[in-house]
């Protein structure tokens, strides 16, 4: 599906799935990533949940990308 045809809800879901994928590659738990990123485990869980739309601020995305040691654009790949 084209990026421009995706709803914002779908985009949030894809970002969450990308975060979960990168977290698992680093062998981190949600709790560990949440602690490093300075957010609650519940918020991290909500961000990663594919069926739950959780808006996420750029500040939190930047912190998560830094914690995962990936370029922020990695979390925005919707291929």
Angstrom CA distances, 49 to 4, 15, 21, 67, stand at 22, 10, 12, 19
Q: Is 5 helix (H, G, I), strand (E, B) or coil?
A: helix
Return the CATH number at 38: 1.10.260.40
Whether the Cβ atoms of residue 47 and residue 76 lie closer than 8 Å to each other: no
The answer to the question of residue 76 being in a domain is no
Q: Count how many domains the chain has.
A: 1
Q: How confident is the model at residue 2 (pLDDT cuts 50, 70, 90)?
A: low
The answer to the question of residue 77 being in a domain is no
Q: How confident is the model at residue 67 (pLDDT cuts 50, 70, 90)?
A: very high
pLDDT in tens, 18-64: 999 999 999 999 999 999 999 999 999 999 998 888 989 999 999 99
Q: How many CB atoms lie within 10 A of CB 36?
A: 14
- Tokens read off for 3: 């990026």
The answer to the question of residue 10 being in a domain is no
**Domain extent for 51:** 15-71
The answer to the question of residue 2 being in a domain is no
């Amino acid at each position: 599906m084209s990026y421009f045809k995706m709803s914002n809800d779908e985009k949030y879901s894809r970002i969450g799935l990308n975060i979960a994928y990168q977290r698992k590659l680093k062998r981190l738990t949600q709790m560990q990533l949440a602690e490093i990123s300075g957010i609650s485990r519940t918020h991290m869980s909500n961000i990663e949940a594919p069926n739950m739309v959780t808006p996420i601020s750029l500040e939190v995305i930047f912190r998560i990308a830094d914690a995962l040691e990936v370029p922020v654009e990695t979390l925005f790949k919707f291929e």
